Amino acid sequence: MAGLAESGSNPDVDLLYDINGLAKDAPHWFDRIVEYVGEYGLLFAMVLLVLWCWWSVRRRGGEQAAPSVAALVWAPLAAGIAVLVNVPIRGFVERPRPFLDHQGLEVLVSGKTDYSFVSDHATITMAMAAGLFVANRRFGIAGIALALLEGFCRIYMGVHYPTDVVGGFALGTAVALLLSPLASALLTPVLKAVDRSPRAGWLIRARGRSADGQDAMVPGARREAPGTEERDLAA
C-alpha cells in the first residue's frame, strides 16, 4: 500500500497536492482555524449533534424512543470499535504519513509519527454519522456532512492521503451498519428497561410524555391533531 504513494503521477498524490496546496494560498489565520476544526472541532461537533438528536428523540417520546436512543448509544460505540479494528489494519499496511514521502506539502499539524492508513478521524466521524442515520435520517445527513468536511480537512492539513480518508469512511460505515442489527438487539431491551425506570426513564423519554408520544393529559387540556409533530425516522 505504501507503494501507492511513491509516484507523483498517482491520482491519490495529485489530489493530495491539489487540496493541500489550498493551504499555501490561504491566510495564516484560516489555516489555524482549519487545523483546530480538523483536529478537534468536528469531533466535538459530532458529539453535540448526537446529544441534540437524543434531546429531540426523548422530547417526542413514542414507541420508537427506546430503539432510537439505542441507535444513538450505538453511534459512539461503533466509532470506538472501528478505531480498534483500525489498529491491526494500520500495522499491516504500514503506510507512512504523506509529508514523509513527499516534499513541498504544507503540514499544519506537527508531531504525527504513526501510520497514515486509515484515518482515525475519518473513521470516527463517519461511524458516528452512520449510527446517527440509523436513528434519524435528518440528523444522520448532517453527520455525514460533518464527516465529509473532516475528511477534507485531514487532506488539507497534509496529514493524510485521500485514500486514507476514503478508507476511514468505508471502515466507519461498515462497522456502524453491519453491526447495527446486533447492537440494536442487545441495546434496545436494556433501554426499554431504563424507560420503565421511575428514576432513569428521563434518559429515554421527557417527563410527561406517554408511550404514544403525546403529552400527559391535563384536565381541560387540548391534544394536538395527529401528524402535527415531527415524525421520527428511526425505523
The tens digit of pLDDT for each residue in 144-167 reads 999 999 999 999 999 999 999 999
Residue 37 confidence (pLDDT): 94
User: With bands split at pLDDT 50, 70 and 90, how would you rate the model's confidence at 5?
Assistant: very low
Q: What is the mean pLDDT of the chain?
A: 83
Taking a C-beta distance cutoff of 8 angstroms, is the pair 58, 203 a contact? Answer: yes
Residue 217 confidence (pLDDT): 35
Taking a C-beta distance cutoff of 8 angstroms, is the pair 64, 232 a contact? Answer: yes
The H-assigned helical ranges of the chain are: 11-25, 28-36, 42-60, 65-93, 98-101, 120-135, 137-156, 162-178, 180-196
The tens digit of pLDDT for each residue in 85-130 reads 999 999 998 899 998 888 888 888 887 888 999 999 999 999 999 9
- Is the pLDDT confidence value at 8 over 50? no
Residue 119 confidence (pLDDT): 94
pTM for the structure as a whole: 0.81
Residue 141 confidence (pLDDT): 95
- Is the pLDDT confidence value at 211 over 90? no
> DSSP assignment, residue 159?
S
Q: Over range 166-195, report the average pLDDT.
A: 93
| CA dist., res. 222 & res. 2, Å (int) | 66
- For residue 118, whether the previous peptide bond is cis, meaning omega lies within 30 degrees of 0, is yes
Q: C-alpha grid cell for residue 133?
A: 442515520
Q: Over range 181-207, report the average pLDDT.
A: 84
Instruction: Name the residue with higher pLDDT: 43 or 203.
Output: 43
Q: 3-class DSSP state for residue 227?
A: coil
| CA dist., res. 12 & res. 14, Å (int) | 6
| CA dist., res. 164 & res. 90, Å (int) | 10
Which of 35-39, 41-45, 48-52, 199-203 is predicted with the least confidence, judged by mean pLDDT? Answer: 199-203
Residue 122: which residues within 8 A CB-CB, separation 6 or more? 147, 150, 151, 154, 160, 164, 165, 166, 167, 168, 169, 172
- Is the pLDDT confidence value at 61 over 60? yes
> DSSP assignment, residue 213?
S
First and final C-alpha spacing in the chain = 39
Q: Over range 173-182, report the average pLDDT.
A: 95
* Cα–chain center distance at 111: 25
User: With bands split at pLDDT 50, 70 and 90, how would you rate the model's confidence at 62?
Assistant: low
Q: Per-residue DSSP letters for 164-176?
A: HHHHHHHHHHHHH
| CA dist., res. 52 & res. 58, Å (int) | 10
| CA dist., res. 24 & res. 26, Å (int) | 6
Longest Cα–Cα distance of the chain, Å, equals 76
Q: Over range 165-182, report the average pLDDT.
A: 96
Q: For 109, phi and psi rounded to 5 degrees? A: -125, 120
Residue 40 confidence (pLDDT): 93
User: With bands split at pLDDT 50, 70 and 90, how would you rate the model's confidence at 209?
Assistant: low
